[in-house]
Structure 1
C-alpha cells in the first residue's frame, strides 16, 4: 500500500513540547491534538471543504502522493494540528468541525520560516520570534461558526502556549473578495480605527490589497471567525495582503497571551 510522504511533527512532538487533551464546556464539542496521520487527514479534508468548495480557492498542487479532496501544503509536515470534534457518533469521536495548524518557533526554524513570511514583511517581529507561534489554515465548519468552536480552539491554544513558555500568536484572517474587495477594504478601514497594533508590531504586505482603488465606506460586520479573534484580544498588524489563489484579502493578526480575556487565562493556568 502506498503511503503519503507527509509525516507530521504533531505525531512526534519535539522534546519538552507539552500538549493535553480536554473536553470543553459544551457537551457537543471536544478539542485535542492530532496524534495520527488519519487525524491530520481529517483536518485537511475540512480545510478543502471550506477553502476549495465553499470559498472557491485555487489550492496549490499538494505534495506528490497526497490523496485527492485534501488541502495539503509543505508547512503541514512541521505543524501541530489542533482539532475540534462535534459530539460522539456510535461511541466514536464525532467529525472534525474546526481546526488550526500551529507552527512553533523550533518547527519554524526547521521549515525555513513562517507561512506569514510569504505574505508579509515581518521584520519588526524579529525580537518576538523565540516565543511566537503561528496559527494557520484556520477554519470552522459552516454549521459551527456561532462561537463555541472558536472558544474551544482558543482555550486549547492558550493552554498549549502557557505550558510551553510561548506568549505571542500571529496568523492571517482571510476575507472573501468575491465582491471585488470592497468588503475587505471597508472592514480594514473600520477595524484599523479600533484594533490596530502598536507601530513596533506592524507588518507590511508583500502584495497589498489595492485599498485606495476600493470602497472603504461600507458599514460591514466582521465575519464570525474575525469577531472571535477580536473578542480574544487580537490586534491587526497592518493592511491586508491580497492572495489571488484563494481570492481573499488576508488580514494579519497578533494576540499576546497577556491580552487574553480572563476566562482564557484561567484555561491556560
Structure 2
C-alpha cells in the first residue's frame, strides 16, 4: 500500500466513523470508494464489518457518557429497542443467503435508494408519528430486510425510521450505533466462517488502520450529537439520508 493510498484510507475511515457516530449512518458508503482505489471486495467486506463493530461499540460508550442514550435498568426502552434491532438484523443476515440469489442488484439498489430518500424528505418536512412498539417492530423489520438484500442500508432506515416513529434524534442514532455494532461483529464471524480471508497481510493492515480511526472518531461524533440542536440535527440527518439515497441510485448507472 503506497503512502497516498494509505493517507486516503485513513482520511476516509475517519470521516466515515465520525459521520456514522454523529448521525447513525454512512459508514458503508466508503466501500465503493475503496473499490475504486483498487481493493478487492473480498478484502473490504470483512474489514468494514470489523471496523464498524469497533466504531459502533466505541460510539455507544461515548453516547452513554454524554447521555445521548441511557443503558441502564432505570430506562429499559433503549435496551429493548436495541435488542429488537439486533435480533431482527441477525435474522436478516441469515436471510441474505437466500435473498441475494433471487433478487437482482438493480432492484435492491432502486428499493434502498428510493426508501432512504423518501424517509429523508419526511424528516425534512417534520412529519412524525406517535411512538408505539408496533412501529418499532416494522422499522426493525425493514432495516433487517435492507441488511439482508444488500448488506447495507441499515443505518439510514434504523435511524430515520425511529425518528419518524417519534423517537428523539439522540436516542435513535445511539441505538442504531449500538445495534449495528452487534450486527457487524456477527456479520464478520459469518463472513470468516463462510469465506475465510485471502490476503491476511493486507487484511490486518486495513483492520489496524480502520480500527484506530474507529476508536478516535466516535468520541468526537458523540460529542457533536450531544451539542447539536434537534432542528439542526433533523435537517442534517434528513439531508444526509437523501444524499445517501441519491448516491445509491447514481451507483446503479455509473459504478
Query: Higher relative contact order by CA 8 Å / sep ≥ 6: 1 or 2?
Result: 2
What TM-score, normalized by structure 1, do the two folds share?
0.26
Which has a greater percent of helix?
2
Which has a greater percent of strand?
1
